[in-house]
Amino acid sequence: MKFQDYRISPEIKKSLEKLEFKKPTDIQFKAIPPILNGEDVLAIAQTGTGKTAAFAIPIIHLINERKKGTRKKGIKCLVMAPTHELAIQIAGVFEQIGQHTRVKVYALYGGTEQDPQILKLAEGIDVLVTTPGRLFDLRSQGHLNLDEANILVLDEADHMLDLGFYKDIEDVIRFLPRGRQTLFFSATINDNIKKLAYSLVRNPIRIQVSPKDPVSKNITHSLIFVEMDDKRFFLERAIKENPEKKILVFVRTKVRCERVSAAMKRVDLDTLTIHSDKDQQKRSEVMRLFKSGEQKVLIATDISARGIDIPNVDMVLNYDMPDVPENYVHRIGRTGRGKEKGMAFSFCSKDEMPYLQAIEEYTGYQIDQLVIDDVNYDQTLAVSSEKESITMKQIRKEIAIADNFQKKKRKKKKKK
């Protein structure tokens, strides 16, 4: 079945044709009809399966048709997302698909001035894509009315729970119409997600799109065993040996994000970092520079990069092994998208072996291990610019100590 065969607005079909969307993906094929019929949907689908378009296409059609019969203002669809970057990305998909329709879309998030956002809301918005924090801020100030929001979408619901948004999601229901349509999308399913989902949806159409192989066949992935303190030298080598490649480096914490970037700076390698401690303006600029290719290396945490669609990432490098097996799939899914080929490379220390075992159990196969002999290992450390600079510092320090010792000896001789 092709998109041209669906009973959707001609304006949407025009946009899909421009975007070269010809046939629906599995999640789109299964989700679009029930959403068009006004049914609740509970969908389990990984990032990269086309799930944003799976709910954006039918929602834009429904709102566009309703607007033809009424001029009543008000937010008609609320989409909740876990991070600023994902909210921006989802709004971008809505805008692309709905560019020829009457549907107005806006991304609302914290970390930026709220006055321009208040003015934008006052102009009239049909689809509001938002993160929980700023949503509640403006709602409590009386700038946000959700009485007409008859469609609720929770995207990356499992990630929202990981970030502690369970109560926020429960609270937002109080502001929405009782007869709303609820669309619940998650990459994984567990007891907590089931509890939340079934407290929100009514007799949902359940859809599960789980590929037999969770890792794309377009990606070649391998690992090397590296001591934790030596990882920065191997990252330096990887960047220097691939100067034209766009590399996305994953670490586990915000602190390590900045430490690894500082280590690269010491050897004259420019890198970008993205994590939740950066304000929105800086995060947006980082994403712009990396997406455009103006900067080739981005160091990120799982929280800030999950679900983000970054074009033409040549290599994903796991500087730290993920402590959650599913995150391995989310990470390396940033490369090898569509028909593109990608590489995934991991540094694994002895302490991270349990993480590796959990990942291999989850994916169902072993990651290729590249053996580095002692000579090559030591050579990587020896040729590092940081090692060279440290050696020179040590030499200069030793020379200074020796000079001071000689001066003291000469003074003693004079006294005698």
Q: Would you state the pLDDT for residue 71? A: 65
Q: Would you state the pLDDT for residue 392? A: 46
pTM: 0.75
CATH number for the region 3-209 comes to: 3.40.50.300
Sheet-wide strand order for 105-108: 105-108, 127-130, 77-80, 151-154, 181-186, 41-45, 205-209
**Other CB atoms within 10 A of residue 381 CB:** 17
Q: Which helix (H) or strand (E) holds 174?
A: none
Q: Do the domains 219-383 and 3-209 match in fold?
A: yes
Using alpha carbons, select from 344, 337, 352, 350 the residue that is nearest to residue 368.
344
Q: What's the angle, vertex CA 5, arms to CA 180 and CA 203, rounded to 5?
A: 25
Q: Would you state the pLDDT for residue 394? A: 47
76 near 150, Cβ under 8 Å? Answer: yes
274 three-state secondary structure: strand
CATH architecture of 219-383: 3-Layer(aba) Sandwich (3.40)
**416 residues of the chain, pLDDT tens digit each:** 889 889 999 999 999 999 989 899 899 999 999 999 999 999 988 767 788 999 999 999 999 998 876 667 789 999 999 888 889 999 999 999 999 999 999 999 888 888 999 999 998 999 999 988 888 889 888 888 899 999 999 998 888 887 788 888 888 888 899 889 999 998 777 888 888 888 888 899 999 886 555 566 778 889 999 999 999 999 999 999 999 999 999 999 989 999 999 999 999 999 999 987 888 788 889 989 998 999 999 999 987 656 677 888 999 999 999 998 888 888 888 887 766 788 999 999 999 999 999 999 988 888 999 988 888 888 888 888 775 554 445 444 444 544 554 555 455 555 55
Query: Judging by beta carbons within 10 Å of its beta carbon (0-12, 13-18, 19+), is residue 227 exposed, middle or buried?
Result: middle
C-alpha distances in Å from residue 213, one per residue of 49, 225, 360: 13, 25, 12
Q: Would you state the pLDDT for residue 193? A: 84
Kindly tell me the sign of the dihedral angle through the C-alpha atoms of 13, 14, 19, 23.
positive
Report the distance separating Cα 288 and Cα 294, nearest Å.
8
User: What are the residue boundaries of the structural domains of the chain, listed by start?
Assistant: 3-209, 219-383
